[in-house]
Amino acid sequence: MTNQVIAGELLKAGWLASDIIEALAAHPPRFSREKPAGTPKSQDDYLGGQATAVTIEVKNIKKYFGPVKALDDVSLTVKAGTVLALLGPNGAGKTTLVRILTTLLKPDSGRAVVGGFDVVRQTNELRSVIGLTGQFAAIDNILTGRENIELVGQLYHLFGHEAKRRARLLLEQFDLVAAADRPAKTYSGGMKRRLDLAASLVGRPKILFLDEPTTGLDPQSRNRLWQLVKDLVAQGTTVLLTTQQMDEAEHLADRIIVIDHGRIIAQGTAVELKRQVGGDVLEIHLADHQWTEEAARRVAQLGIGTPRADKAVGKVSLPISGGAAVLTDAVRILDNSGIKIADVALHRPSLDDVFLALTGHKAEQTV
């Protein structure tokens, strides 16, 4: 019978604990003696806040998954208030780096500091100054949009009323007011991404990580998300984003780092990267594709690099430095040779050209 008594006592203790939990639930905790780290002092500055001294510093980070070198000695820095784009194909190591910088993964070697906090030793402090929007919208489909943001707010250790207030503001800012009290599973892809980003911002992160934020979105939703990111940057948030899309990097980033097979293969502004492949490119489309290689040979002398012949589409691309004069020369040479031209154009290289020149393969294709 004594064991029955013990069981009874245990049960009583259980009920007592549940009473305490319920009491705490009814009266939101007011125990913090200081504001949680990461909360800006002023309530007026809505997002981002002051980001003066905050940077990201990565030194010689390595991360291997078995024989795969996901990150092979990567070093980089991001200045406060700027946007860095990590550009590379699937499997280049972009997401691995983001996961290390957001404390989800430990590096094998090397050091990284985010917002003044070490990614291995000061994880909790670090987590209170960052926001993360992953490759797939991390939202609870059963909860409403509002509840999703409030949930993350409470886990950033905001008091209930403050989490509610910020959720309301973010829903307005992200144009989700009409859908705020619908379950998130009824949201469109673009709305889910916006909700995901809004939830990442409820803790007012100084540093925001966006892992392929617009992959799979239609152009309109993509533009909308770009604008939201630009607004955040204008308010002082530092952003590190990964992307496979050249135009996204060019559109949003102050600096671009091209990464392939876990290594940094180029970095600079979009303009600087374009310069690396030799300035202007002359593109000649031929009426008859079988003459592509012959045409490339004949115009090669006009360029400052080797011409590329793409027989499948009948296109010759030639890096040049002479501008329009070269274009007329090329037309004359091909005309004299009897090779018919369908179209001819002079253009600055796109980042696609840059990537192709740097890696030998296109950015969108999986390696």
Partner 1 sequence: MNMQPIDNLIDAALWSISDIMVMTKRNLLGYLRLPQLIVFSTIQPVMFVLLFAYVFGGAIQTPGFDYINYLIPGIMVQTVLFGAMMTGVGLANDIAQGMIDRFRSLPMSRAAVLAGRTISDLCRNIFVVLLMALVGYLIGFRYQNGLGNFIGAMGLTVLFAFAFSWISATIGLWVKNVETAQSAGFIWVFPLAFVSSIFVPVETMPSWLQGFANNQPISATVNAVRALSLGGPAGDWGLKALLWIIGILIIFVPLAVRQYRKVA
Taking the mean position of all CA atoms in its chain, how far away is CA 150? 24
Q: Does residue 156 touch partner 1 according to CB under 8 A? A: yes
Q: Which of 81, 128, 174, 238 binds partner 1 (CB under 8 A)?
A: 128
Which one, 148 or 292, has the nearer CB to partner 1?
A: 148
Query: Closest by alpha carbon to 331, among 345, 314, 348?
Result: 345
Tokens of 174: 């992200």
Looking at 7-15, 236-244, 247-255, 352-360, which segment touches partner 1 (CB under 8 A)?
7-15
Which one, 203 or 303, has the nearer CB to partner 1?
A: 203
Taking the mean position of all CA atoms in its chain, how far away is CA 204? 18
CB of 58 to partner 1, least distance (A): 17
Which one, 203 or 319, has the nearer CB to partner 1?
A: 203
Residues 18-57, mask of contacts with partner 1 (x by CB under 8 A):
---x--xx---x-xxx--xxx-------------------
Task: Transcribe 266-300 into DSSP letters.
Answer: EEE-HHHHHHTTTS-EEEEEESSGGGHHHHHHHHG
8 Å CB contact between 75 and 60: yes
Distance CA 207, CA 131 (A): 6
Query: Which residue shows structure tokens 């809004």?
Result: 198
Which one, 240 or 249, has the nearer CB to partner 1?
A: 240
Q: Does residue 68 touch partner 1 according to CB under 8 A? A: no
Distance CA 12, CA 108 (A): 48
Which one, 185 or 361, has the nearer CB to partner 1?
A: 185
Which one, 144 or 243, has the nearer CB to partner 1?
A: 144
CB of 104 to partner 1, least distance (A): 6
Q: Does residue 16 touch partner 1 according to CB under 8 A? A: no
CB of 99 to partner 1, least distance (A): 7
Nearby residues of 329 by Cβ (< 8 Å), 6 or more positions away: 302
Q: Does residue 84 touch partner 1 according to CB under 8 A? A: no
Q: Does residue 152 touch partner 1 according to CB under 8 A? A: yes
Which one, 128 or 245, has the nearer CB to partner 1?
A: 128
CA Rg value for the chain: 27
Q: Does residue 345 touch partner 1 according to CB under 8 A? A: no
Nearby residues of 204 by Cβ (< 8 Å), 6 or more positions away: 38, 39, 40, 47, 48, 49, 166
8 Å CB contact between 324 and 345: no
CA angle 363, 250, 222 (to 5 degrees): 85
Q: Does residue 312 touch partner 1 according to CB under 8 A? A: no
Looking at 125-133, 246-254, 280-288, 318-326, which segment touches partner 1 (CB under 8 A)?
125-133
Which one, 77 or 136, has the nearer CB to partner 1?
A: 136
- 42-47, Cβ contacts within 8 angstroms, sequence gap of 24 or more: 45/235, 46/169, 46/173, 46/235, 47/173, 47/201, 47/204, 47/231, 47/232, 47/235, 47/237
Q: Does residue 203 touch partner 1 according to CB under 8 A? A: yes
CB of 160 to partner 1, least distance (A): 10
Which residues contact partner 1 (rule: CB under 8 A)? 1-4, 6-8, 10-11, 14, 21, 24-25, 29, 31-33, 36-38, 99, 102-105, 124-125, 127-128, 130, 132, 134, 136-143, 147, 151-152, 154-157, 183, 199, 203
